[in-house]
Amino acid sequence: MSVTGGSKLQGPLHGLTVIEMGQLIAGPFCGQLLGDFGADVIKVESPDKGDALRQWGQPGYPMFWEILGRNKRSVTANLRVEEGQALARQLIAKADILIENFRPGTLEKWGMSPELLMAENPGLIIVRVSGYGQTGPYSGRAGFGGIGEAMGGWRSIVGEPDRPPSRMGVSIGDSLAATFACLGALAALEARHQTGKGQIVDSSLYEAVLHVMESLVPDYAIANFIRTRSGSILPGVAPSNVYPCKDGAFLIAANQDTVFTRLCEVMDRPHLATDERYATHTARGKHQRELDDIIAEWTRDYTVEALEALMAEAGIPAGRMFNPEDMLADAQFKARESLIEIDHPKWGKLPMQNVFPKLSGTPGSIRRVAPQSPGVDNQEVYTKRLGLSEADLATLEQNGII
């Protein structure tokens, strides 16, 4: 699917105005999520270089920005001086949601404390994303996504057991904090429908990571069990691993009893399903390594394509390792338009992930490409929303405010 000239879909958040301040991933991803579902997201950038995310990606190809900047307008304001702060406050006074991911205390230092902003705009929802949250002894510390992943428990269990903790190949801590921030914004929005009042949404990186760590803490507190790094397996859950093929690797997740039985039949080893070493979930967990060895010996005789067909026919959850080339060619991605193609003024046909999740009645959409330069929407936003004149804008620009 190609987006040309913007989508006509308005989305369920159409009519909401979001002011996005901050940079890099956590705050901007929250803004992107709201923008994807129809909110008018106005990003406030510094007048000199704009968001540092504009430089992220392969040399000469800053694709991070094209994703996280989509469905937004860009204005510039120097938030370190009073004139720039005054501009931002005027925008915020007319907004529904403010997103910021500065170190706690920064807004207050700039004369934009939540108390002041909400006195001017009682319905304002202020979304604050930070490393450690707005309170507590660590709140003033600098915190990036990787630090949140470490404190939240993620890093300690990722990687091979005989090596130092590894990391995921994406900024998962930032993305999780942004997603929970978006969830909080929508919950606060629903509360505002009932009370008429806004509130503060406090999303920290480490708590967002902690929230997806399943039973990590009670496992220790109640069962005195500490999860450790286990490579490609989840200890005690078998068979569920990546197995070798003639031409690559293949993931099979057949840890449920009935599914394991089907796998044994496909392998022409039906006796394994009733063998006391593998007949139950607990038994398979105890004999995980030897079971994986049996399956690996079998999968080595197949190509990835042949094994994928066998698993699909037998109803066994399984799949190959997808890379971007696979995604762009895959029938499932195409059928659901999981990737969408944007007509881009600089990159031509630019593929990127579509809006998720899919809503049947009021779906989100990609309506505009990421702003190609900081402040490209200054005139439109400042003249129409704040009533500034062309002369006003010229003076602000001359003085380095925008």
Residues assigned a catalytic role: 174
Beta bridge partners of 66: none
Strands 248-253 and 240-245: antiparallel
Instruction: Provide the strand spans (E) within 7-124.
Output: 17-20, 40-45, 72-76, 97-100
3-state class (DSSP) for residue 44: strand
- From CA 294, how far away is CA 383, in angstroms rounded? 70
- From CA 273, how far away is CA 279, in angstroms rounded? 5
The number of residues making up the chain comes to 402
Cross-sheet strand order for the sheet of 125-130:
72-76, 40-45, 17-20, 97-100, 125-130, 200-204
Q: How far is CA 222 from CA 145, 219, 285, 332, 390, in A?
A: 29, 6, 20, 43, 66
- From CA 365, how far away is CA 331, in angstroms rounded? 21
Q: Are 174 and 145 in contact (CB under 8 A)?
A: yes
3-state class (DSSP) for residue 310: helix
Token representation of residue 55: 């430089």
Instruction: Give the distance from CA 166 to its chain's centroid.
Output: 19
Instruction: Give the distance from CA 313 to its chain's centroid.
Output: 33
Instruction: Give the distance from CA 268 to its chain's centroid.
Output: 42
Q: How far is CA 248 from CA 64, 65, 230, 318, in A?
A: 29, 33, 21, 14
Cross-sheet strand order for the sheet of 318-320:
240-245, 248-253, 318-320
3-state class (DSSP) for residue 269: coil
3-state class (DSSP) for residue 1: coil
